[in-house]
Structure 1
Amino acid sequence: MDAIFASRAALTLAHILPAMAFVLVAPFLFLRRFAGAAWPRHLIYPLGIIVGLTAYAMSTYSIGGWTERSAVLLFNSLFLFSLVRAFWCGRANEIVLERRWLTRSVGILLGIATTRPVMGAFFATSRLTHLVPSQFFGVAFWIGFSLNTVAVELWLRSTKPQSQAERNLLIPES
């Protein structure tokens, strides 16, 4: 695995460094102390686009094959959709909606962090299961990204909408 990442060091760095910066900037978007600061918003969108585009590029060399690639394609597309939607809501001065869409994008992005302990569990049990990384990486990606995406969406839907526009976006109760 190290050889795969080492052979694509430039792409790996082009993905990991902006992702790290994205994760470091993201909390400033949600802290009241920085509510009026423009710099986090000016950084988060270009960083997110770089992370998303390089994730697509990195998925062409996925260890977990099509299972991993399909998880990356779906969740990366959701990440980019949420990020772009947040951007347009911000441009329309719909700050509450921008924040909710940014919350989605950050939650999806952090799915990769949830994937790591899932992979650790697969590595730890590989002597019993006889699974190799190419067999469990894709499953770990699906589990990690799904857990985060569902958790963030449930949390967002459990909070009271703040504006009429936001209420219009919610699915009506049956």
Structure 2
Amino acid sequence: MLRVTLHSDPNRLTLTPVSTGLRVGFWLCIVVAIAAVMRRLLALWQAPSAAEPPDLQRLDAFFRSHATLTYAHIGVALVFVCILPLVYWNRTRLWQPVRALYYLLGLMVGLTAFGMSANPAGGIIEGAAVVVFNLLFLFSLAQSFRAWRIGDAIADRRWTLRATAIVLGIATTRPVMGVFFATARLTGWTPHQFFGPAFWIGFSINTVVMEIALRRHARSIE
């Protein structure tokens, strides 16, 4: 998504694109994540609709039964996703308030995600995916914070990209879920059955793609 170019003055570190595909993927994930949060908020605010498919009705009812935790998680996640572009925009990426907010909100997203995983809609398979990738996200976030504090721009950028890719995996799960919803009549799977595989697929795609990109462009950022 980004190439890091180092100058003799560390404050002049600049970022240039290395992959149009990754940049497009970044913005698509942002849009999808925001849309998913807004859809969930509307479902929590509105009364159940008989016009919705039965699977969606049951899913919405499940989240309404955990409304407080759901509000906390998606509310923090919405703000976190909205500030992500500022973390990479050259005019704001060195602002300490932006980075401090990035780490604080990232930590809150991770902690509330653990809460959501205690009783996930997709059962134990989804819960396991959330725990595994949430741990990877928090580890990457911690490494990014450590590198930022000591002024290691290269490690900071690499770990920040990893953390960002992992957390945006929640957006990649949405089209995967769409495929499962579309094929439900053929497979007979309900959201409870396919949410777990969708989470594993979505988060794995983002994690693997970013790792491949970092390794492929290692010479560009080291």
Shorter-chain TM-score above 0.5: yes
2:102 aligned with 1:44: yes
Deviation at 1:35, TM superposition (A): 3.5
Contact 2:93/2:99 (<8 A) preserved: no
* 1:90-144 deviations in Å (ceiling 9; x for gaps): 1111122112111111100000000011011101100111111111110000000
2:161 aligned with 1:98: no
Deviates more, 1:16-25 or 1:136-145: 16-25
Match of 1:56 in 2: 114
Contact 1:71/1:141 (<8 A) preserved: yes
2:201 aligned with 1:156: no
Match of 2:128 in 1: 70
**C-alpha root-mean-square deviation of aligned residues, in Å?**
1.1
Distance 1:113 1:35 in 2: 23
Within the candidate set 141, 152, 156, 1:83 is matched to: 141
What is the identity, as a one-letter code, of the residue corresponding to 2:135?
A: S
Q: Which runs of 5+ in 1 are unaligned?
A: 164-174
Within the candidate set 119, 132, 135, 2:177 is matched to: 119
Contact 1:107/1:149 (<8 A) preserved: yes
Match of 1:17 in 2: 75
Deviation at 1:33, TM superposition (A): 1.9
2:77 aligned with 1:28: no
Match of 1:170 in 2: none
Match of 1:169 in 2: none
TM-score, scaled to structure 2: 0.71
Deviates more, 1:152-161 or 1:67-76: 152-161
* 1:139-171 deviations in Å (ceiling 9; x for gaps): 0000000000001111111112544xxxxxxxx
Contact 2:169/2:205 (<8 A) preserved: yes
* Count of aligned residue pairs for this structure pair: 163
Report the structure number with the largest CA radius of gyration: 2
Structure 1 segments (4+ residues) deviating >2 Å: none
Distance 1:17 1:107 in 2: 19
Deviates more, 1:3-12 or 1:48-57: 3-12
What is the identity, as a one-letter code, of the residue corresponding to 1:142?
A: W
Match of 2:198 in 1: 140
2:221 aligned with 1:129: no
**Cα 1:34/1:128, change in 2 over 3 Å:** same
* Residue identity (%): 51
